[in-house]
Amino acid sequence: MYNQLDETTRAWGMACHLSALGGFIIPFGSVLIPLIIWLTQKEKHQFIDEQGKESVNFQISLIIYILALCFILIFLTLLLSLISGLLSEENSFRFLSIVITLQVLPVFVFVAILIFQLIMVIIAAVRAYNGQSYRYPFNLRLLK
């Protein structure tokens, strides 16, 4: 925790986190906007440097998790299509309901990740504005 941070430093720390919400509007904005803020402001205070890296790492981590989810979905789709082709027509219809269920499940997981992102960014921004360092859960520390 940083004692006696000035308001500007705390505001930039908060901006590092809140700017990630730009990803809901601009593709890859969740990484690019915090990255730009961090790169331009990191020399001003160690707190901004720390919070900027934390924010960028978290957003990159989420992209990696979402890409992994996409690859799993593609693999499952291909595997289930192959299995469906091997089944008789009667069994294939029953199997189709399982396939549809497995295809809808990742959509719910994706939405859950977005909700998780929103909640974590808001928590981090509030803590940063209060002058408290925040470390995201499930964060890959790629930038050191």
pLDDT tens column, 31-87: 999 999 999 999 999 999 999 999 999 999 999 999 998 888 888 878 877 776 666
Spatial neighbors of 22 by CB under 8 A, at least 6 apart, are 29, 30, 32, 33
pLDDT bin (cut points 50, 70, 90) of residue 1 is: low
Spatial neighbors of 115 by CB under 8 A, at least 6 apart, are none
Q: Evaluate if pTM is beyond 0.85.
A: no
Spell 75-85 as b/e; 16+ CB within 10 A means b. eeeeebeeeee
**What are the tens digits of pLDDT across the range 93-144?**
667 777 777 778 878 888 999 999 999 999 999 999 999 999 999 888 888 7
State the pLDDT at residue 76. 80
